[in-house]
Each structure stands twice: as C-alpha cells, then as structure tokens.
Amino acid sequence: MKVYLDNAATTPVAPEVFEAMVPYLKNEFGNPSSTHSFGRQAKGTIETSRRKVAGLIKAKPSEIIFTSGGTEADNMAFSVAINELGVKRIITSEIEHHAVIHTAEDVCKKNDLEFALVKLLPNGHVDLEDLEELLAKSDKKTLVSLMHGNNEIGNLLPLQKVSEMCRKHKAYFHSDTVQTMAHYSFDLSALDIDFITGAAHKFHGPKGVGFLYINNNIKGLPFIHGGSQERGLRGGTENLYGIVGLAKAMEIAYEDLEAHQNHVQGLKSHMIEELRKNIEDVSFHGDITPENSLYTVVNVCLPKTSKSAMLLFTLDLKGVACSGGSACTSGSAKGSHVLEGIQADTTRPNVRFSFSRYTTKEEVDYAVGVLKEAFEKELVD
C-alpha cells in the first residue's frame, strides 16, 4: 500500500486543475505581452485569473502579483518593505519558514537593518506580550513578519490581533500564509495587513506558481527587472498555464471549504487518538487544539528507539511518505530549526504527518499500523 502523508511539502494536482491547464499547454499558448489575438487572449486569461484569486480572498485584482511561488513572494515582500517603505527594522521569529528567516537575516545584514526575534511560548506560539514590547521600544520603521500557520508544528497565529498591534505601533505586517491559503477563509477587505503569500502546490495546484498580495496603499519598486509585467514589479513572461491552475485550485478549495476542513480535521484527530492508543509515551509538538492548530499538520514525538535514524526509512519502505521536518530541510544534515526553536526533545524521533482532501481514514490507519509494528519489533531501547 502506498500512502502519501506529506501534503505540507506538496499536494497532488487536482484532476479539474489539470484539465483547466491543458488548453493553455496545447492551443492557447500566446505570450500575454503580444498585441495580436493570441497574446490578447492570454492576457485576458491572466486578468480573469487575477480577478478570481482576488475575489476569493476579498482583495482587489490590482493587489495580486503572480510569482514563481511562496519563496519568491516572501522575498518580494521584504524588497518592497525595504526599498519602497524605508523599513529599518525587522521583527520575526526563529520558527519561520526559511524563505522568511533566511531572507530577513540576509536583508538586515546587507542593508544594516535592526533584526529582532520575538520570544516563543512553551507551546510554540508567538509571545504576543513580547511582540508588543518589541514594537513599543523603537520608533524605527518596522516590518513584522510572522507566518499564519507553521509548516512543521501547525500552530496558528491570530492574524487580527497581530494586525491591530502592528497598526497601533505604525508597523508594517507581512504574513507567510503559504500553508493556510485556500485552507482558511481570508477577508482582506477587513483584515488590515500589508503582505500575504500563496503557493499553488500547497492546495492541489501546480508547482512553480504563487502570488503576493500587496495592499493597494503600497506602491512597489521592481523586484525582477525586465518588462512591465505584474505592475512592473516582476519582469518576465508570465506562467500562463500555472496561473490558470492556481486560480482553478483556489476556486475548488473555496467551493467546499467547510467540508474539506471537517474531513481533514477528522483525520488529524483520529490519528492523534490512534497513536495515543497504540504507542506508549507518544506526544505531540506544538498546540494541537483544533482552534489554535493547522488542521492539515500533526508533528509526532515518538519514543526513543535504537534505530531512530531509520524510522523514516522504515516508513518509506512500507509505503508511507511523511517527513522528519519541512521539505526544505530534508536534504540537510541539520535538524529541524523549528523543533530546536521550541526546545523540543530532538533526541527522540519526530515525524510530521500532513493530510489533504484526498487522504482517507484507511491510509491513516495503515500509517499508524506501520508505526505500531515498528515499535512492537523491540526497536525501543
């Protein structure tokens, strides 16, 4: 049996998304910058997709900039904040995605900006009292960059509270929403935020395409120089079929969002219950309460074994795809910076399981069974 439980890394493309993309791979292939009928049709398709994406999150079409994915979108947000808004200070956390934490460190060093890390609570949530203190103690133009849903432990940030705090102290607010876009509702007509990001492959769209929302009050300078595409911020011929796929994937997600949420939260709760029932001394990283946790992710701390390093390999041999951390670090010899950031016990095997609308209860049960069998074979020291 093959079971895919690494949806926080990437999701399979939905069949409807694939079908929507096919015409733009085969026949409707014009360059959107061309003035003939092929180009005009391509340009019109992009703008239709932009309107669709904007409408789904209650933004304006002019606030949506298509990118190659979440990493580029995060980088672009920092670029606009520094070069256009004149930010002199960045506040972030040590458990952000590397697209944020590494970028923040780099731009602060290169531009001689102040770099600050907000404290974390024992359960992995951002310490909002410390954030308030950090914002209050400096008059420098500040960008706060904190992710909405953590990709490894699943903790959710209260966007409204942080937004209000930032506005109170005249700070700009960027949130990496790659893990939560199309998994939660967003009303950007009500939420006062400057930048958010999305990546299609996290919600059953194609890889290599995403977007950055930039509040219309902000006018940006070019991030990629070239043509005048994407409000002049991102030169280069647009990924036409990717943009079509992104818009279609978001449309599908928001058509039945509540049913999707209930289905996946049910799977997560079921796995937590079954792991507790079948494996002694199991625990979970982060806050796993449904109201404070991303329903697609659960990070499991398993008992020490004599073959901890082989546990992911054992799962893979049995057909279960999961992760020991984020996909961005799985090729590195370093451990999870997120688990280190929350001072988790990294001497024990830690496994991230993540679910999608296509995951079934039978697949979850199979994965739990594989783990149970591994520990029953006296792998425990």
- Rounded Cα gap, residues 186 and 190, in angstroms: 9
Provide the 10 A C-beta neighbour count for residue 128: 16
pLDDT at 332: 44
Amino acid sitting at position 293: S
Helices assigned H by DSSP within the chain: 15-26, 37-56, 70-83, 98-111, 128-136, 159-168, 240-255, 257-278, 311-317, 337-341, 361-374
Q: pTM of the predicted model, to two decimals?
A: 0.93
Rounded to an integer, the average pLDDT of 91-97 is: 96
pLDDT at 333: 45
Q: Does the pLDDT at position 380 exceed 50?
A: no
The per-residue pLDDT for range 49-76, each reduced to its tens digit, is 999 999 999 999 999 999 999 999 999 9
pLDDT at 308: 62
Q: Are strands 195-199 and 210-214 parallel, antiparallel or unpaired?
A: antiparallel
Q: How confident is the model at residue 334 (pLDDT cuts 50, 70, 90)?
A: low
Please say if 328 is a catalytic residue. yes
Rounded to an integer, the average pLDDT of 140-148 is: 98
Sorted by where each starts, the structural domains of the chain and their CATH numbers stand as: 3-11+256-379 (3.90.1150.10), 15-255 (3.40.640.10)
**Is 135 or 311 the better-scoring residue by pLDDT?**
135
pLDDT at 220: 80
- Rounded Cα gap, residues 100 and 71, in angstroms: 8
- Rounded Cα gap, residues 174 and 375, in angstroms: 43
Least confident stretch, 15-24, 28-37, 83-92, 173-182:
28-37
Amino acid sitting at position 303: P
Q: How far is CA 158 from the centre of its chain?
A: 15
Question: Is residue 156 helix, strand or coil?
Answer: strand
